[in-house]
Chain A
Amino acid sequence: MVNNLVEVRDLVVDRGGRRVLHGLDLTIEQGSVTGLLGPSGCGKSTLMRSLVGVQQLTSGRVTIAGAEAGGKELRSRIGYVTQAASVYDDLTVRENLSFFGRVLGAASDAVAEAIATVDLADHADQVVGRLSGGQRSRASLAVALLNAPDLLVLDEPTVGLDPVLRRDLWALFHRLADDGAAVFVSSHVMDEAERCDRLLLMREGRIIADDTPAHIREKTQTDDIEGAFLALVDADSTEERDRP
């Protein structure tokens, strides 16, 4: 049975007088890793902000477990990682996590657990500002894991990470999904597509494909997602030309 945790209906968002999202419809299911792929600037972050409830919507609806996105009762059930590492540079990894843990009312052992999960135990008492970019973004990711959220919204969490770590993180996302969470991950790197259970391809504020990676390749008769993306864009512009 498919269990949709997130439902987006006809979502339109304008930012700075420009339409960024053009009436999106999509769902995100529990227990799976859904990837959101598209070039930078196509509206991925805006869509993610809309799910978390920090984006002003122009029209349309986003509901999570039946409640309006951003509602009070949802705030402790969503883990959100912004593109820039949203942690305090002048605190240690442990201090950051303890602080956010207290805000969330997380269990006391959640901090050590989250640090271990993102493999930062060796750096737990280092000030975040002195860590590498990849370590900082892992510290930021750890914050999102503190309260075992039902929905994880991760905006490009694997950018700039070493391949081994990237593989480990994707394994982690799948473990979280197996435990019942809905994991929604964005990336502008097409080769991460194969790691998702389901893919949303996005371009210029529209979803141009929504299926499993295998089905998308099959339908477009291509070998990889990058090829599929190009085929879809080409087909789209041919259609536009052929319109009277």
Chain B
Amino acid sequence: MTPRILLAVSQRVLTQLRRDHRTAAMLLVLPCVLMTLLWWMFQDLPGGLFDRFGPALLAMFPFIVMFLVTSVTTLRERSSGTLERLLAMPMAKLDFLGGYAVAFGVVAAVQAALAVALSVGLLGLNVDGPVLLLGLVAVADAVLGTALGLFVSAFARTEFQAVQFMPLFVIPQILLCGLFVPRGAMPGFLHGVSDVLPLSYATDAMQTLVSSSATGDVWRDLGVVVAFAAAALGLGAATLRRRTP
């Protein structure tokens, strides 16, 4: 792995994003709009529902958005021949994957900063734990989404197919992450499944941060998310082949 090459990749990805105003705006503004919508929806209801659902949503945005963006962009690299060209150059697979992860990690940090500032500052989300840690979890979620997106892009032949992986990889995680039914109250089998899905840990971390100032469990959950992301990057690296049939 060469830091020079890895950073060249991240900088290039960020330049591409900057050039694409519509995508950049969607990445940064959309989460804020959706958080506001959620807050508005629960506004007249008793029971602190925004405090219950808000954190999970903060965990989900970076994950879903980065999953989509990455699976489509890497697929484009595979089909346009730029990936083949890069792999014929002195570039390690981890330079490529790491470059993407760093670039989208940076975007996620900005995205999380905006969404958290809005939620805590204007919409009155109660966060008992450290707010910075909330941002850190969001960045880890984004890297996880990036890593999974890189991985699935290997199994899609068209951008259309790549987008179809979203329902397969993401929606089950949303259903089972504890947002709708607390994970402890699920049937035993589903609880077991949710235990091996990374978004469950991201959601747990966010919910703990909001409801308590103890951070021990958050760090553990964050560790699990990072481990999943690293494993997905490893799998992604395995799908990048220098020599193809």
Which chain A positions have C-beta within 8 A of B86? 103
Residue of B nearest to A85 (CB): B81
Task: Determine whether B46 belongs to the interface, using a CB cutoff of 8 Å to chain A.
Answer: no
Contact assessment for B19 and A91 in the assembled complex, using a CB-CB cutoff below 8 Å: yes
Some 7 contacts from A to B, beta carbons below 8 A apart, are: A16-B245, A57-B243, A75-B90, A76-B90, A82-B85, A86-B80, A88-B80
Add 19 more A-B contacts to A75-B89, A76-B89 (CB < 8 A).
A52-B88, A54-B84, A55-B244, A56-B243, A56-B244, A72-B90, A80-B85, A82-B81, A82-B85, A86-B81, A88-B80, A90-B16, A95-B15, A99-B8, A103-B5, A103-B8, A103-B9, A104-B90, A105-B4
- Interchain nearest-CB distance for B116 vs A (Å): 30
In which size bucket is the chain A interface?
Answer: 20 to 34
- The interface on chain B, measured as residues whose beta carbon lies within 8 A of the other chain's beta carbons, has a size of 25
The number of residue pairs between A and B whose CB atoms lie closer than 8 Å in the complex comes to 78
Which chain A positions have C-beta within 8 A of B243? 53-57, 70
Task: Determine whether B37 belongs to the interface, using a CB cutoff of 8 Å to chain A.
Answer: no
Which chain B positions have C-beta within 8 A of A56? 243-245
Task: Determine whether B91 belongs to the interface, using a CB cutoff of 8 Å to chain A.
Answer: yes
A87–B86 alpha-carbon span in the complex (Å): 10
Contact assessment for B16 and A86 in the assembled complex, using a CB-CB cutoff below 8 Å: no
A-B pairs with lowest CB-CB distance, top 8: A86-B81, A102-B8, A86-B85, A75-B90, A82-B81, A99-B12, A56-B243, A76-B90
Give residues in A with beta carbon < 8 Å to B: 15-16, 52-57, 70, 72, 75-76, 78, 80, 82, 84-91, 95, 99-100, 102-105, 127, 143
- Interchain nearest-CB distance for B154 vs A (Å): 16
Main secondary structure of the interface of B (DSSP, over half): helix
Task: Determine whether B211 belongs to the interface, using a CB cutoff of 8 Å to chain A.
Answer: no
Contact assessment for A84 and B16 in the assembled complex, using a CB-CB cutoff below 8 Å: no
Which chain B positions have C-beta within 8 A of A127? 19
- Interchain nearest-CB distance for B6 vs A (Å): 10
Which chain B positions have C-beta within 8 A of A102? 4-5, 8
Select which of A57, A87, A105 is within 8 A of B82 by beta carbon: A87
Select which of B4, B242, B245 is within 8 A of A15 by beta carbon: B245
- Interchain nearest-CB distance for B123 vs A (Å): 35
A87–B80 alpha-carbon span in the complex (Å): 8
Task: Determine whether B87 belongs to the interface, using a CB cutoff of 8 Å to chain A.
Answer: yes
